[in-house]
Each structure stands twice: as C-alpha cells, then as structure tokens.
Amino acid sequence: MKVLKGKQVVCTEYLTLPPLKRDFRRSYLVVCLILVVVSLTSIPGRRYHHFMMRGPNSKPYGRRMRAARKWVFLLLWPVLLVFVPLHLGFSQTTVNPALSFIGDMRFSGFLHAPAAVGENKMIFDFHELEITAGASLNPYARADVTLGISHGGIDIEEAYATLLRGLPLNLQVKAGQYRVDFGKLNTQHPHQWSWVERPLMFQRFFGEEGLDAAGLNISSLASLGSCALTLSGNVFSGGSYWGNSQDPKLANLAESARASLFAPLTDHANLEFGFSGLTTRLGDSAGGRTTMGNLDFKYKWRPDMYSSVVFLAEGMIGSRLVAGGNEGAGGATRITATGFFSSLDIQFHKQYDAGALVDYCRDPVLGFGRQTGIGVFAGFSLVEETYRIGLLLRQDQGPALSRPYQTVILQLLWSLGPHKPHQF
C-alpha cells in the first residue's frame, strides 16, 4: 500500500522503482555519456579537436593514428545508437516525459483572395508538426515543452516550469516561454479548435502564433460557493503583441492579469466568464502606453458521451498612441482597435461535429482596416482526437479587401502519444 503524503505526491512511478532497476538505468546513462565523449574526441579531420584535446601547439596526428580515430568513430556511433534507445527503454516508465506528436496537414483553396493570403491558389501544406513533452520535475514542480516545426523552422511555442504546490494562498508560479492567459482562446493550441484557424483579432493583435512570450505567471485558485475563481497575473517580454517588438531585447516589459469564474450549472452544463487586461509601455517614438482588454465566455453542455454543445464568445479592445496626427503631446494620435470571435460547435455523434463562426477585427494601425469573416465547419474524428478530418468554409470581407474572398481548408490532424485529459 502506498500512501504518498505531501512531498511524495507526484513521483509515484520513480519512487516505487526497485533499486536494482535504478542502478541499471544509472549505469546505462554513464556508459552513454562516456561513449559520447570518446566518439566526439575521435571525429576525424576536425582541427578544433586537436586544439581542444591536445593544445594549440601540438603536432598533427600521424597516418596510423588518423585511421585508428576514424575506426573508433565509425564503430562507436552504432554502439551509441543501440545504447541510447536501451537507456530510454528502461526509463520510459520512470522519469521520461510523456511525449506527443501532433501533425497538421492541410489542403487549402482560396478564391478572390489578396496576394498576401494566397490569391486563387490551391495548395497542400504540411502546416505544422507539434511536439509536446511534459512531466513532473520533482514532487513540487513540473515542466512542459511544446515545439512547433513548420516551413518557418523550429519554434519554441512553450517551454516552462510550474511550481505546482507548497505555496501559500493556493498559488502556482509558472516561468518560461508560455502562452499568456490573455483571454481564453490564446492559451489553446490551434489543433484544439474545430474552426481550424486562429481568430483574426489574435493574428492582428499578437501575430500569427498569438501571444506567447517569455515571462512569469502567478495564479491562485479560490472557491466561491460551488464556483471556482482563478486569478492570474503575468509579467513578460517578447511575443509579438500589439505595439511592441517581437524581439525580447527590444520589447518593453508588459503586465497582464486575468480573472475567470467557472460555474458548474448542472452535472452536464458548465460556463466560464473571464476578464483580462494588458498594459505595456510603447517601444516606438510616440511614447505612452498600450492598454488592452479582453472578455471571454464559454458555455458547454454535454448530456452524454456522444453529444455536446459548446458556445464561446471572446471580444478584445486595444488602445495605443501612434506617431503623427495632431492629438496629444508630440503630435501622437490615440487609436483604438477591436476584435470579436464567436463560435457554436455541436457534437451530434461520437465521431461528428459541426458548427459556425463569426470573426471580426478592426485595426486602423496596421493597414488591415476592418475585416469580417463568417464560416461553417465540420469534423469527423475516427477515434477521439487521434485522427480527425476537419473542413472549414469561410468568407471574409472588408473595406481593405477589393472584394470578398473565400477560403476552403480541409485539415487532417493526427495525434501520436498518450491520451491527455480534456481541460474545460
């Protein structure tokens, strides 16, 4: 019988390993490290290793020695390739993180679209491969990493450590690169959405990937009757948020906060309200501050495991000074941008769902003007989220567009790895 009290709460698997198995794992690790060092020092024909290992004034190796090093190198790497997986095999059920790979393949078609979107093209696009890893670091903390691999290269979407427990006032502290909880949707990854694409307001205000930044998050959880109140605050820099630089070295610090209230209505219905605010000092010559606000709402009714209705709505407003114009000091003008997104997603069978969306954004700064999108979407999940085919039909229009344009996206999502529980 194992009662894990206090500090022993999390690392159940590792703590219950028999000592012999731990010793095996340790010895494999040591052997692997020795092999890596030896093989690296034997890479043939690399002058810097002469310098590193033998000093700058040493004589070059003789012919025999070079041949010997070549063979050592050639023989050691295959051995390494065997040893490392063996080590991983031992530790798969112990301390290795849960690894998941999520592939997002798309066939997209655009009609009357502006050049920036894709004109009248039809394309196959392996949009992104997302790799996630997460596990407990110790009984008090865990770490999570999400890498996004796409045509643009490898992007560290998230890499953070969370201090889970042991702090007063039910506090949790998260530090690293993470999706800032400014609104509900920004914290989610696109593969969680039936409507395929990130809402316009997040793209316009924060860039294509939304608001992910390096910083510090402190949150607390409290109960209000049967409801759960979550209060959260962030200090961060970087990310590509409105009116600031994406480069953390150039960006000013930003602060944001969110309060959300989750209310269980019945055994099958829940709703959540959230309010977020963000402020930062501007990095451009106009000076002043950018302030932003966000309101979000989600309602979910799930009477059984085969059907559900999810309605969500999120609105955003941002205000900043820009150089030029006559208003305010220094000829700066205060401009306001707004955005709104709403969707209704109905699951009418274990494997099928369908819904509709409204997407709106008005941003006078960045030259996009006003844009409104409406769309319908449908999805087929072969077995839960492991293999999903999604379809999005969408029309966008606005004064900045010469004419309305249509988008069709057929998406294939697959998920390789352990099941993850669904979060509300």
Partner 1 sequence: MSHRPALTILGVALLSLHAAAVVRVVTSTTDIKSIAESIGGDRISVKSITTGKDNPHFVEVLPSYMVMVSKAALYLKIGLGLDFWAGPIIDGSRNGRLAVADCSEGVEVLEKPSGPVDASMGDIHPQGNPHYWLDPRNGLIIARNIEKALVGIDPGNATLYEANLQKFEGELEAKIGTWQKAAEALQGLEIVTYHNSWPYLGRFLGIKTVGFVEPKPGIEPTASHIAELIDLMKSRGIRVIGKEPYFADQAPRLIAARTGARVVDLPPSVGASEGASDYFSLFDTLLSRLSSAARKIP
Nearer to partner 1, 66 or 349 (CB): 349
Does residue 193 bind partner 1 (CB under 8 A)?
Answer: no
**344 torsion bin: left (phi>0), alpha (psi -120 to 50), beta (else):** beta
Q: 52 is written with which tokens?
A: 């590193």
Determine contact, residues 294/287, Cβ cutoff 8 Å: no
Does residue 6 bind partner 1 (CB under 8 A)?
Answer: yes
CA–CA dist 351, 185 (Å, integer): 23
Count of positions (residues) in the chain: 424
Q: Which residues pair with 179 in a beta bridge?
A: 212
Nearer to partner 1, 162 or 290 (CB): 162
Does residue 165 bind partner 1 (CB under 8 A)?
Answer: yes
Single residue of 167, 250, 366, 400 touching partner 1 by CB under 8 A: 167
Single residue of 195, 202, 242, 262 touching partner 1 by CB under 8 A: 262
DSSP, collapsed to helix, strand or coil, labels residue 355 as strand
CA–CA dist 133, 115 (Å, integer): 37
The interface mask with partner 1, positions 307-346, x = CB under 8 A, is ----------------------------------------
Cβ neighbors of 10 (< 8 A, separation 6 or more) are 4, 136, 138, 139, 140, 142, 164
Nearer to partner 1, 158 or 363 (CB): 158
Does residue 5 bind partner 1 (CB under 8 A)?
Answer: yes
Does residue 384 bind partner 1 (CB under 8 A)?
Answer: yes
Determine contact, residues 272/297, Cβ cutoff 8 Å: yes
The interface mask with partner 1, positions 208-237, x = CB under 8 A, is ------------xxxx--xxx-x-------
CA–CA dist 100, 133 (Å, integer): 6
Q: State the amino acid at position 132 in one-letter form.
A: T
Q: 193 is written with which tokens?
A: 């959405």
Does residue 101 bind partner 1 (CB under 8 A)?
Answer: no
**Site residues, partner 1 (CB under 8 A):** 1-6, 9-10, 12, 140, 142, 164-167, 170-172, 220-223, 226-228, 230, 260, 262, 264, 267, 270, 272, 302, 304-306, 350-351, 383-384, 386, 418-419, 421-424
